[in-house]
Each structure stands twice: as structure tokens, then as C-alpha cells.
Amino acid sequence: AVEKYTVPLRALPRPTPPPGAPALGFPRFLILSDISQSLDLEPQFPGDLSEVYLTEVVRSSQRILAGAAAFQLDQPITTTCQNTVAGPPLKSVMFELKAGSDAPPDSERFRTYAIFFVQALVDHVLSTFPGLSLDDRVAVVVPNERFLEGFRACLGEVQPETGKGQLETLLAARLAVLEQRSDAESKVQMERIKKIREVVAMKLRVVSAAEASRYVPKRHARVETKQHGRVYVQLPSQMIVVDTVENFHGLERL
């Protein structure tokens, strides 16, 4: 399969070297390969290429690097991180859900998952990063199609009394709980709640992994506001990606 791409490159005319310079070889080209994502554990490349192993990651953290190491194949290479930032720990949101004969009907079960998803979104994500747009930055990975159908139904239903989607309704309800907390009157908390309210007020759309991958960032639609010397960027609508784990395979962009 590699020859499909290398043969046309090798057929290109060789460049003329400057006077006194040694003859140039084939046109330069680069083959990027990730063995851990290859169906062939021993891919065959042209024999005259120089192997270079990329061992340093930059846009990451020590925690992500440690987690990703578990998925690396047995290679005599130690991947390192360019920075020493540990990164925030994983946040777990645990709740009790009855099972067996006491298990609730599917509609209630999926609604419970939706409620606690919104709780994590408001209490953790939006509270930790106030003012940050959710657009194409939040992914919800579910186990299978049946779960996906039930979960998305709880987020996409339009409420007749308000005309808003269920996701917007749940977000508004959780934000109200956040505002009623004892520390909500502090200046810092009031500022945080204000920024969260601005994000929640924007239109939200639940999309699949494939649909999210088709979109180009809407840079022309950005709205920038400057507060306290910082520039906050918001988009008029926000995509929340919800899909099965199978449909997320290979989509590292997400």
C-alpha cells in the first residue's frame, strides 16, 4: 500500500544541485506512521528511508501522557512531554441508579444520566473554565446505539411551555442551583456565574461525531468581548458532540 504513494514521488525529476554541490537524491518526502493505529504490525517501507521516532508531545500534559502510555505497543521508546504541567485530575461524577427488579424505566434512567451530565457540565467544566465556549469542545461517549438514542432524546426534546430544548432547560435549572449556593454572593462567584450564564444562553445543538468532524471553525462568526484585560471569544451557536464509542474510534480531533 505504501508504494501507491511513494512511486509517484520517486518518478518526479531530480532537482539540479548548485555548482560544486553533491548530486541530490530523490525528491524529499515524509511518511508519518503510527504503529499503534496500524492494521499491519510490520508495515513495509522503502528500504532507503531514514527512520526517525517522534518521542515528544507538546500540546498535552503529564497526566494525559501517562494515560496514553497504556495504549502504546511494546516499543523500546519512552515518550516524554515537552512541558512539566501535571494537568488537572480526572473528575468523577458518581450517582446511584437502581438495578434489577427495582430498575427505573428506560426513559427515567436516561433522564437521570442527562441530569448528571448537565451537573458535571455546569459545576465542573463551566465553573473551572468560565467564559469558555462549549462549541465542539465537549464530547459525550456512550456505549451503544440504544443508549445513544435514549440519551439524545432526553437532551433534544423541545419543551412546549418554553419552546426550548431539554438540554437548555436542564442547564438553566442547574445554573439556578449554583446561584443559590451560600458563596454565590461573593464577587468572584458572581463573576463566574455571569460568564456561565452567557455561555448557557447561546444556542446549543447536539450532533454526532461525524457531523462535528465536517464543520470548519466559524472564525468569521466570532464575537469577542474584552473584560478586565482579557478577550473572551464566543460563538452564536455551540455543538455538543454525543455519539457511541465505536463512532469515536480514530477521531483524535474530537
Q: What angle do CA 179, 185, 190 make, to 5 degrees?
A: 65
- Cell numbers for 85, please give them: 504541567
Neighbouring C-beta atoms of residue 110, cutoff 10 Å = 22
Residue 123 · residue 115 · CB < 8 Å: no
Report d(CA 74, CA 35) in Å as an integer. 10
Digitized pLDDT (tens) for each residue of the chain, 254 residues in all? 566 666 766 666 666 767 776 666 555 667 777 776 666 667 777 777 777 777 888 878 888 888 777 777 666 667 888 888 888 888 888 888 887 777 778 888 999 999 999 989 888 888 888 777 788 888 999 999 999 999 998 887 655 555 567 888 888 888 888 888 756 667 777 877 887 787 777 778 888 998 888 876 654 455 556 666 665 555 457 888 999 988 887 656 54
Cell 456512550 found at: 142
> So what's the pLDDT on residue 25?
59
pTM of the model: 0.65
CA distance 73 to 170: 42
Helix segments in 180-229, DSSP class H: 187-201, 209-214
- 3-state secondary structure (DSSP) of residue 138: strand
Query: Which distant-in-sequence residues (6+ apart) come within 8 Å of 157 by Cβ?
Result: 165, 166
Pairing of strands 230-234, 223-227: antiparallel
Please state, in angstroms and rounded to a whole number, the distance separating the CA atoms of residues 172 and 223: 22
Cell of 90: 480526572
Question: Judging by beta carbons within 10 Å of its beta carbon (0-12, 13-18, 19+), is residue 241 exposed, middle or buried?
Answer: buried
In degrees, to the nearest 5, what angle opens at C-alpha 144 toward C-alphas 142 and 146?
110
* Burial state string for 147-170 with b = 16 or more CB within 10 A and e = fewer than 16: ebebbbebbeeeeeeeeebbbbbb
Give Rg (Cα) of the chain: 25
Q: How far is CA 212 from CA 41, 76, 239, in A?
A: 31, 36, 7
